[in-house]
């Protein structure tokens, strides 16, 4: 949370989070994490331009790392100190710390950190107006970044190289670097999505308040009608006025009900759209960001294996198990990314995506029969996504709760719309039990189907299995 607030420049809240984290680690006597918090919070003081406090925190972190003989942590503390001295134009101190960090990282053979050190040295030399040495450092950083597919660092380096080429009068080279920068896809969540969600929420809250004002205006209008009728008309006209008032009341209720339903529909659509966008973003972040970093870690470990002299076979087996764990982590990241936003749904459509999802379920746990018909043509993307999530939720419910060993699923598209059924031979449940009904996610299924203007029916009883029948009309 401290890092999130720091990135959004809410520096006071960021510092509050870091200080609370530091106190927790202090109570736990976890000196390594205390050193990490000192470095992270030092950056906040850099943003506040309180460089003395930033240096104090970096040096405190360095003292802890030296006490723990943590060479990786020492290198990071050197790097932080080099950065803050660069900002203050104290280039001699900055160069000393940055070179110390680079040498230590070379000793540790940490390719990722070495690439960062080269980039930081490049920035320091650029600020010193030593453009030749700055360009050399950025190019060394890019060699490693390209091997690791570290898009963010490449983009930052190309931006700085373009600025250096422009300052030295080589405008053709500067343009070439700017083009390379522009061609790289930014793999970091920039915060635009967060702003969009906040704007959407603000818009919804505003419309909600406007609706409340309309309700208040309607009540005032009704009272005015009643008061005017009592004063201005005879007993006969009072009855006529009451009749007129009653009709207007019904009309107002119908209008307000329609407005409320419209707002609810907009809110549901916004939530589902934001949820799917966030799934896509997280899936992309896992695949393109964390997945690539884990792959780079595996390659570095594999390369490191050739340089290690193992004392015995047991030590070698332990190291190989470590590489295996990293490899399994890579596979798990790819699996989670694919489940959040399967490629088959994007490329081939609903039937292929459902089949691909079901093929990954162990048939020793449950036998699944899938029948699809009339889905050769693609459906509306919202319809495909919502139906896929509904079927995914149904299948997960069956596996988690039903104890079934057989599951039949059908997806049929005809002139009336799309019909889907999910039927298992499990233990079933009492559909009149509201607490259990909501507890196993069936309310969520109903809300998603309602978003498509469809219907869903549940047929189940204890010991009799469960049938979920869904019908969604085709948008005209």
- Whether the model pTM is above 0.75: no
11-56 tens-digit pLDDT: 999 999 999 999 999 999 999 999 999 999 999 999 999 999 999 9
Cβ atoms of 421 and 408 closer than 8 Å: yes
**pLDDT classification of 335: cutoffs 50, 70, 90:** low
Q: What is the mean pLDDT of residues 316-331?
A: 77
- The domain ranges of the chain are 2-183, 192-341, 344-472
Lowest mean pLDDT among 162-176, 370-384, 410-424: 370-384
Cβ atoms of 388 and 379 closer than 8 Å: no
CA distance 103 to 112: 14
Lowest mean pLDDT among 108-122, 217-231, 278-292, 382-396: 278-292
Q: What is the mean pLDDT of residues 73-81?
A: 93
Residues in the chain: 476
Q: 289 Cβ partners below 8 Å, 6+ apart?
A: 187, 188
Choose from 119-123, 209-213, 293-297, 459-463 the range with maximum mean pLDDT. 119-123
**pLDDT classification of 437: cutoffs 50, 70, 90:** low
Name the residue with higher pLDDT: 135 or 217.
135
Query: Does the pLDDT value for residue 208 go beyond 90?
Result: no
Name the residue with higher pLDDT: 73 or 232.
73
Q: What pLDDT is recorded for position 154? A: 92
Q: What is the mean pLDDT of residues 111-122?
A: 92
Cβ atoms of 354 and 411 closer than 8 Å: yes
Cβ atoms of 315 and 355 closer than 8 Å: no
**pLDDT classification of 370: cutoffs 50, 70, 90:** very high
**pLDDT classification of 96: cutoffs 50, 70, 90:** very high
Name the residue with higher pLDDT: 268 or 358.
358
Check residue 406 and report its DSSP letter. Answer: E
Half-sphere exposure of 263 (CA within 13 A, CB side): 17
Check residue 401 and report its DSSP letter. Answer: I
Domain 344-472 in CATH 2.30.110.10? The answer is no
Q: 138 Cβ partners below 8 Å, 6+ apart?
A: 118, 119, 122, 157, 160, 161, 164
DSSP percent split of the chain into helix, strand, coil, nearest 5: 75, 10, 20
Domain 2-183 in CATH 3.30.56.10? The answer is no
DSSP per residue over 233-252, as a string?
Answer: S-HHHHHHHHHHHHHHHHHH
Mean pLDDT score of the chain: 83
């Amino acid at each position: 949370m401290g890092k999130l607030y720091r990135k959004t420049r809410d520096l006071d809240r960021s510092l509050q989070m870091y200080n609370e984290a530091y106190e927790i680690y202090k109570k736990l006597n976890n000196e390594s994490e205390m050193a990490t918090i000192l470095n992270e919070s030092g950056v906040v003081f850099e943003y506040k331009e309180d460089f003395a406090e930033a240096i104090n925190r970096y040096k405190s972190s360095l003292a802890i790392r030296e006490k723990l003989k943590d060479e990786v942590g020492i290198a990071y503390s050197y790097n932080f100190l080099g950065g803050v001295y660069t900002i203050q134009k104290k280039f001699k101190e900055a160069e000393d710390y940055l070179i110390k960090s680079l040498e230590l990282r070379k000793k540790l053979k940490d390719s990722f950190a070495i690439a960062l050190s080269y980039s930081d040295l490049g920035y320091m030399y650029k600020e010193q107006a030593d453009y030749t040495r700055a360009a050399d450092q950025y190019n060394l950083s890019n060699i490693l970044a390209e091997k690791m597919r570290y898009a963010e660092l490449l983009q930052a380096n190309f931006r700085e190289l373009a600025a250096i080429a422009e300052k030295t009068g080589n405008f053709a080279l500067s343009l070439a670097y700017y083009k390379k920068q522009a061609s790289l896809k930014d793999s970091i969540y920039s915060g635009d999505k967060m702003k969009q969600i906040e704007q959407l929420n603000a818009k919804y809250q505003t419309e909600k308040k406007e609706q409340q004002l309309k309700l208040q205006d309607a009540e005032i209008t009704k009272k005015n009608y009643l008061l005017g009728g009592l004063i201005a008309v005879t007993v006969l006209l009072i009855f006529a006025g009451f009749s007129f008032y009653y009709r207007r009341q019904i009309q107002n209720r119908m209008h307000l009900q329609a407005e409320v339903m419209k707002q609810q529909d907009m809110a549901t659509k916004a939530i589902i759209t934001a949820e799917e966008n966030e799934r896509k973003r997280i899936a992309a972040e896992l695949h393109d960001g964390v997945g690539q970093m884990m792959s780079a870690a595996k390659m570095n470990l594999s390369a490191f294996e050739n340089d290690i002299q193992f004392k015995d076979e047991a030590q070698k087996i332990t190291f190989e198990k470590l590489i295996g764990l990293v490899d399994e982590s890579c596979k798990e990241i790819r699996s989670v990314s694919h489940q959040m936003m399967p490629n088959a749904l994007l490329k081939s459509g609903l039937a292929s995506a459902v089949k691909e999802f079901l093929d990954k379920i162990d048939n020793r746990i449950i036998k699944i029969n899938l029948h699809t018909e009339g889905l050769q043509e693609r459906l509306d993307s919202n319809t495909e996504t919502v139906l896929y999530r509904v079927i995914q939720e149904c299948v997960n419910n069956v596996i988690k709760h039903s104890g079934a060993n057989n599951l039949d699923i059908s997806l049929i598209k005809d002139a009336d719309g799309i019909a889907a059924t999910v039927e298992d031979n499990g233990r079933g449940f009492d559909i009149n039990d509201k607490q259990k009904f909501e507890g196993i996610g069936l309310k969520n299924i109903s809300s998603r189907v309602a978003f498509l203007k469809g219907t869903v029916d549940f047929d189940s009883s204890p010991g009799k299995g469960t049938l979920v029948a869904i019908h969604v009309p085709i948008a005209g």
